[in-house]
Structure 1
Amino acid sequence: MSASVGIVLVSHSPQLAAGLRLLVREIGTDAVPVLIAAGTGDGRIGTSSDLVRAAIQAADRGAGVLVLPDLGSAVLTTRSVLAERQRPDVVIVDAPFVEGAVAAVAAAASGADLRATARSAEEARHVRKL
């Protein structure tokens, strides 16, 4: 099997990101790297460009990396990191945090490429719950 798209969850809250990672790992396989970049370097609520950079590097297995931020400064921090060194194989997606992560991991686990994985995450915005 070829390398899977890596997924990075960027959140203000380490607990939120860890819980979501636990959920999506039940859906995906060990072949889908799901990394988190959450909180500050000293464990407070917030975001850290160093943690985002490290998570992207760790998630990269050769098929690209999808980065999914939760909101606000997580988006700004991610954009800042990606602007430092633009790579076509690392993309940020505008998707709901939980639903987008679930859809992305399911797509990556099925062998989807980076573009299809990103599209799956973004399309999760339109899935109705009720």
Structure 2
Amino acid sequence: MVGLVIVSHSPYISKGLVQMLEEAQPEVTVMDAGGTDDGDMGTSAMRIQTAIEKAEAGEGVVVLVDFGSSVMNAEMAIEMIETESDIMIADAPLIEGAYSAVMEAGFGKSLEEVVNAATSAKDTKKVQ
């Protein structure tokens, strides 16, 4: 099953989002990589790397990020991983993309299908 990693500058946002995703699809591994190593605001390549390694169950990992340095640190984290893994950063809205991704992962979809679901979430209308 595809795993997910949530990266936000705010550890509160990432923790809350992980909790919501785990309730939606409890069988999907969703790891929190929000905040710095000290739990402050910001992001950490090492924290993201560790989360990716824990989320990897053999079918790949989708990393969902908020903005700015979360993208840069996610890219660095992927470069630091020594094992052969399929890892993709989804260019998606964090909350909507993560929810779409966890649903597809829970249905056993491929890495590419999970990423596509996440990125397609940016086209979803909230208000009609």
Q: TM-score range by the shorter chain?
A: over 0.9
Q: SS at 1:61's partner residue?
A: coil
Aligned equivalent of 2:54: 58
One-letter code aligned to 2:45: S
Q: Does residue 19 of structure 2 align to residue 22 of structure 1?
A: yes
Identical positions, percent? 39
Q: SS at 2:125's partner residue?
A: coil
Q: SS at 2:113's partner residue?
A: helix
Q: Does residue 74 of structure 2 align to residue 78 of structure 1?
A: yes
Q: List structure 1 segments (4+ residues) > 6 angstroms apart after TM superposition.
A: none
- 1:84 is displaced (CA, Å) by 4.0
How far apart are the structure 2 equivalents of 1:25 and 1:39? Answer: 19
TM-score normalised by structure 2 residue count: 0.93
How far apart are the structure 1 equivalents of 2:16 and 2:96? Answer: 13
Unmatched segments (≥5 aa) in structure 2: none
Matches within 5 A, 1:86-105: 89-105=86-102
Matches within 5 A, 1:34-53: 34-53=30-49
Q: Does residue 63 of structure 2 align to residue 67 of structure 1?
A: yes
Match of 2:3 among 6, 9, 12: 6
CA RMSD of the aligned region, Å? 1.4
One-letter code aligned to 1:58: K
How far apart are the structure 2 equivalents of 1:48 and 1:84? Answer: 12
How far apart are the structure 2 equivalents of 1:28 and 1:42? Answer: 29
- 1:85 is displaced (CA, Å) by 4.9
